[in-house]
């Protein structure tokens, strides 16, 4: 009996570890590419065809030594997401037709443990075996705060020559997962979904990651 219970517990553990992790994002994008000659400002936009070259642009705060390393990693993620779409980093600033600015933010939000029974008094237990008997020993945990994290990734694309904003997109995600490079990469990918001709209005974009 004990061997059977241990086998079942192992199987459940393997099932829980397998599969994909879903990163659900709320994405909002705006495109204002140059309009063709002879059309009005509200006419059909001319979406730039690949290949295109760009350079990264940073805010003053992103150039600070305390944040430069993190910004390097964030821009590397944006570069990885843009390359399959035919946008590559220019060899020099003079060769760049566009500038790309990437920002990311995290806000820790504490949740009331009493609003969710699984975050407060948790019902737990363990299997006890002895004298030929097997039984389940229930346990109750103490209420603990289970924080959530609101994260956002945003990209702003400008025409290098004029500084005119031509594309803006952001991805918002909330979860209790710890910050990982894979999570941020998934958010960057979500923000650039449907680039460079996104649909109007907010949309839900899910990126699946292996656990």
CATH number of the domain that 182 lies in? Answer: 3.30.160.670
Query: By three-state DSSP, how is residue 37 classified?
Result: coil
Check whether 174 has a pLDDT greater than 60. yes
> Is 131 within a domain?
no
Dist CA 53 CA 95 (whole Å): 7
> Is 2 within a domain?
no
Query: Can you give the pTM of this predicted structure?
Result: 0.74
Percent over 70 (pLDDT), the chain: 69
Cβ atoms of 184 and 74 closer than 8 Å: yes
> Is 100 within a domain?
yes
> Is 70 within a domain?
yes
Sign of torsion, CA 125 127 130 133?
positive
Helix then strand then coil, in percent of the chain rounded to 5, is 25, 35, 35
Q: Which residues of 145-156 are buried (b: 16+ CB within 10 A; e: fewer)?
A: eeeebebbbbbb
> Is 192 within a domain?
yes
* Alpha-carbon separation of residue 146 from 21, 58, 115, 149, 176 (angstroms): 19, 34, 11, 10, 8
Mean pLDDT score of the chain, rounded to an integer? 81
Q: Over the stretch 115-170, which tens digit does the pLDDT of each residue have? A: 554 444 444 454 455 565 555 555 555 555 678 999 999 999 999 999 999 999 99
Instruction: Give the confidence band of 28 by pLDDT, cuts at 50, 70, 90.
Output: very high
Residue 88 tokens, joined: 């590559």
Q: What residues make up the domain containing 180?
A: 26-37+45-110+147-198
Please give the pLDDT value at position 54: 98
Please give the pLDDT value at position 65: 76
More confident residue, 16 or 54: 54
Cβ neighbours of residue 30 closer than 8 Å, sequence gap 6 or more: 167, 168, 169, 198
> Is 120 within a domain?
no
Cβ atoms of 105 and 151 closer than 8 Å: yes
Check whether 20 has a pLDDT greater than 60. yes
Instruction: Give the confidence band of 211 by pLDDT, cuts at 50, 70, 90.
Output: confident
Chain-centre distance for alpha carbon 190: 7
Q: Which residue has the tokens 């933010």?
A: 105
Instruction: Give the confidence band of 14 by pLDDT, cuts at 50, 70, 90.
Output: very low
> Is 115 within a domain?
no
Cβ atoms of 106 and 151 closer than 8 Å: yes
Instruction: Give the confidence band of 46 by pLDDT, cuts at 50, 70, 90.
Output: confident
Please give the pLDDT value at position 111: 63
Q: Over the stretch 73-90, which tens digit does the pLDDT of each residue have? A: 999 999 999 999 999 999
Among 184, 192, 186, smallest CA distance to 207 is for 186
Give the chain's domain count.
Answer: 1
Query: By three-state DSSP, how is residue 80 classified?
Result: helix
> Is 125 within a domain?
no
Please give the pLDDT value at position 143: 53
């Amino acid at each position: 009996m004990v061997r059977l219970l241990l086998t079942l517990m192992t199987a459940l553990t393997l099932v829980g570890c397998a599969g994909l992790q879903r990163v659900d994002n709320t994405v909002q994008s705006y495109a204002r590419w140059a309009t063709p000659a002879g059309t009005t400002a509200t006419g059909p936009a001319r979406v730039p065809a690949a290949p295109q070259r760009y350079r990264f642009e940073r805010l003053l705060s992103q150039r600070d030594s305390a944040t430069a390393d993190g910004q390097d990693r964030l821009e590397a993620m944006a570069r990885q997401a843009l390359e399959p779409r035919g946008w590559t980093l220019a060899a020099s600033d003079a060769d760049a037709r566009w500038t790309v600015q990437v920002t990311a933010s995290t806000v820790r939000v504490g949740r009331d443990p009493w609003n969710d029974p699984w975050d407060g008094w948790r019902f737990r237990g363990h299997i006890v075996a002895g004298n030929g008997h097997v039984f389940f020993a229930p346990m109750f945990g103490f209420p603990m705060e289970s924080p959530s994290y609101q994260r956002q990734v945003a990209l702003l694309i400008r025409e290098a020559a004029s500084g005119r904003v031509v594309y803006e997109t952001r991805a918002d995600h909330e979860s209790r997962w710890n910050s990982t490079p894979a999570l941020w990469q998934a958010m960057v990918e979500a923000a650039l979904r449907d680039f460079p001709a996104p649909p109007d209005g907010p949309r839900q974009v899910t990126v699946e990651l292996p656990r």
